[in-house]
Amino acid sequence: MERPLFFDLAAALGVFMLWLLARQLFLLYDLSPLEASIQLLLMGALFASVYVGPGRSAGQTERRARSGVRGLGAQWPWAILAALSIGVLLMIGVEFYARAIPPAAVDEMYTAYLARPYGIVPPILGTAVVGALVSEVIFRGWVQGRLTQAFGPEVAIINTAALYAVANLDAWFIPAYFVLGLFAGYSVYLTRSVWSAVLISVAFHGSLFFADAYLGDPDLPTSALATPEGQRTAVAALFAAAMLTIFAFTRQRRLHDAAAEDEPPQAGSDAAAH
């Protein structure tokens, strides 16, 4: 018997809230970057072993299927291209957004931690590596998959993106997270695999760390847009990234449609046809 929709959504959001708390433990307990990195990697390995990794038991097979971690097959090159172009697209969008609406000051404890040798490593692991896997399995695997069963893909993609944006508990980033969720959700719909969303999340968060480190102040990554030349370059990169994203998604759509045509008809549809 299928569980109620509310129960599945509440359980998924509860796991995500626990993850948000767990990835802050290194700050609360003032762990060294090495200790914090090991902690995050161990949590990621535990999560993957339960919900992502292959297993012989029926329960593990069911959890893996619910997480949507199918292989991408021939779609790997297009999923990677889409992820990279979307990462650039969103990074530049965040740059412009930060100039229009400057973000709040970064927490002093977090800023002090980043100043340590290798202090940037735990935040990268917590958001762009382990965090990308955990959050995408939860939202694009569990939540979007369950909403798709109940309401169809369009409603599922939009509502999952909205839940994801709000659940991250960062009001300034809600627009960026919502757009990220739309891209990731549509990519999962096309590829039928949560790995495409993981790639997009890795590219987006990784590009933000790159922007902070090389394009501007760590607390306000907007200096790259301070001059007309920088703004023109950003607009050109934005346009190029948008074109690459459209191209990659168009290719994925063709592969998706071809796979759908190759699927055998359902028994119910055969009976209806006769």
Question: What single string gives the DSSP state of each residue in 112-181?
Answer: HHHTSTTTTHHHHIIIIIHHHHHHHIIIIIIIHHHHHHHH-HHHHHHHHHHHHHHHT--GGGHHHHHHHH
Residues of the chain with pLDDT under 70: 1, 214-226, 263-274
pLDDT of residue 120: 93
pTM over 0.85: yes
Q: What is the pLDDT of residue 273?
A: 37
Per-residue pLDDT of 180-202, as tens digits, reads 999 999 999 999 999 999 999 99
> 45 in helix, strand or coil?
helix
Domain ranges of the chain: 5-259
pLDDT number for residue 22: 92
Could you count the other beta carbons within 10 Å of the beta carbon of residue 119? 17
CA distance 38 to 48: 15
**In the prediction, which pLDDT does 269 show?**
41
Residue 69 near residue 195, CB atoms below 8 Å: yes
Handedness of CA 94, 87, 202, 255 (dihedral sign): positive
Q: What is the pLDDT of residue 221?
A: 47
* Residue 1: per-residue pLDDT: 55
